[in-house]
Structure 1
Amino acid sequence: MDNQTLLLIDGFNLLSRGYFATSYGKEPEQLTKSSKGVYTNALRIFFQKTFHLISQYKMTHLAVVWDVKKDETTRRLKHDFYKATRSDLPDPLIQQFETCKEVLEGIGIQQISVPAYEADDVIGTLAKKWCKNQYGHCYIYSNDKDLFQLLSSNISQIIGGKKGDSVYSLQHFQDDYCITPEQWIDVKALLGDKSDNIPGCPGIGEKSALPLIQLYGSIEHIYEQMDVLDPRFNRYKNKLIEGKNLAFISKELSAIICQMDELNAFLFDDLQVKILKERVMAEFNELELKMKYA
């Protein structure tokens, strides 16, 4: 399997971005539907992008990775505030999520979700396992910057933007932040994440979090050096001391799990791209999506 290429798609990241990009300012009844009443505005974006990625990057292996329900994750079970501020998803998006899974199964694209784990954990475990076995390069498709902690010489992230996709590599990350990808977890521990309701260290913002980790390497070393903290960070000293417990909880919540026993026996042969072209057209015709798969 040398020189193979794996693509791991953060399924809900892609589907939800497609949904909100095409539903902004619209009521549900204004969204694109098939004649049978099936919403398709996000599905069109999802499949266009998926097929484009396969073609552009010559992917030999592919999986769409899905989250489990937020209330069922290991992080939420341990810390009930985690992602507690997220609002319910709109019904048209939920419907398209179910439809998307059905279509993917029908056309032969593998999907993976593991009970109690988030998509990031599944992606992290599979990406690291793929590279450990030296199969080739792994691309992660997602706009989630949390995944930067997974970057390596053999793992890159494809990020979608208004001007098209860009491949974000280990070198890009090091040039931008001057830390290792693993230290990104410590930056997140200090900053927190409003979207996930991760508290971080209150009072520590972007102007201080990254410089602190660049200098000390980790939050553990920051607290070990608190008595001799660099004078330029004196104004943050009390905030660091007061927020110590939250910072360590935030680091635990921010760290992607890259070793899951549930995937120890996982076989990448099952992810070989074997799309059933005749089924693609049948599924698209059923949804009245005027798209082609070359």
Structure 2
Amino acid sequence: MRKHVLLVDGMALLFRAYYSTAMMNNFMINSQGLPTNAIHGFTRHLLTAIDTFNPTHVISCWDMGSHTFRNDLFPDYKANRSAPPENLVPQFDRVKEMTSAMDIPNVGIPGYEADDCIGTLASHYQDEADVTILTGDQDILQLLDDHVRVALLKKGYGNYDTYEAPRFIEEKGITPKQMIELKAMMGDTSDHYPGVRGIGEKTALKLLIQHGSLDAILNNLDTLTKAQRTKFEADLDMVHLSRQLAEIRCDAGVSCDLNEALYQPEREKVIAKFNEFEFKRLGERI
């Protein structure tokens, strides 16, 4: 039987879980004074996805600090992000205790984002396994491949917008890898890099479909409208830099032996961690 690996964007799940409850001032402080709302929501998301996709192996990927190689390339990368909320900070390390209790490896490497870890592992595994990536970040759609699909979290638990490469190509008119060049042109307000100022998604997509690649566009600027050519010429350095920022690296230097990621949690160990965090109703899910 072919293996099926679930790669979890731990940061995406944790932040989503935190904000979905924090908006209602539900911080779930346990008897030790530890806020646990994000850990609890993360665990619910994780267990629900495992029930839904039935993977044979599970790995959770994490950011390891806020500074990455992208900040070295562009100091303003993600500069618009505020510091994490005070009640979330103590949950960053404790949530990994939960995944460890479930015998799910935690993977991360300083200087890279969780996305880069996911990209690297997906590229390693896809020859021998089907890979499902669980995230809320559409940037990861660039990793879609023959044996790699993406499940985007939607509102609530158990609701996913699941993409495989053919669906992406049909909807967008470009390949998943071309999403890197699309973002290089249109920029990313969330990650705080501009791309080509004045070129939005609609124009960038049209040009990419018409010319086939960003390099082809740049080599044929004289075929663009005067306004478009002026915008590209003003931001030539930035569009090349934005391409580097947009690309999820698949050579981040992380690895995880799939034998260590086999999903066979020991119920007693998981229940003990649930009890420690005072999660009374999750035990029946294991």
AA matched with 2:23: Y
- The answer (yes or no) to whether the contact 1:149–1:181 under 8 Å persists in 2 is yes
2:213 corresponds in structure 1 to 218
Matched, 1:60 2:56: yes
2:130 corresponds in structure 1 to 137
Q: Structure 1 stretches (4+) deviating beyond 6 angstroms? A: none
Deviation digits for residues 245-281 of structure 1, max 9, x if unmatched?
A: 1111000111111123453xx4222211121211111
State the TM-score, normalizing by the size of structure 1.
0.91
- CA shift at 1:234, angstroms? 4.2
1:37 corresponds in structure 2 to 33
Which of 181, 190, 205 in structure 2 is aligned with 1:186?
181
Matched, 1:94 2:89: yes
State the TM-score, normalizing by the size of structure 2.
0.94
Contiguous gaps of at least 5 residues in structure 2: none
More helix as a share of residues: 1
d(CA) in 2 for partners of 1:94, 1:52: 24
Deviation digits for residues 149-191 of structure 1, max 9, x if unmatched?
A: 1001211111111261231111221121010111000000011
2:233 corresponds in structure 1 to 241
d(CA) in 1 for partners of 2:17, 2:81: 19
- The answer (yes or no) to whether the contact 1:34–1:287 under 8 Å persists in 2 is yes
Which of 77, 80, 98 in structure 1 is aligned with 2:75?
80
d(CA) in 2 for partners of 1:261, 1:53: 27
d(CA) in 1 for partners of 2:251, 2:227: 39
d(CA) in 1 for partners of 2:152, 2:189: 21
AA matched with 2:129: G
* Distance 1:56-1:44 versus aligned 2 partners, 3 A rule: same
AA matched with 1:288: E
Matched, 1:113 2:108: yes
| Other structure's SS at 1:156 match | strand
d(CA) in 1 for partners of 2:72, 2:230: 31
1:149 corresponds in structure 2 to 142
2:246 corresponds in structure 1 to 254
Deviation digits for residues 3-40 of structure 1, max 9, x if unmatched?
A: 110000000100001101111153xxx52111211112
1:289 corresponds in structure 2 to 279
**Would you say how many aligned residue pairs link Structure 1 and Structure 2?**
282
- The answer (yes or no) to whether the contact 1:67–1:113 under 8 Å persists in 2 is yes
Matched, 1:126 2:126: no
Contiguous gaps of at least 5 residues in structure 1: none
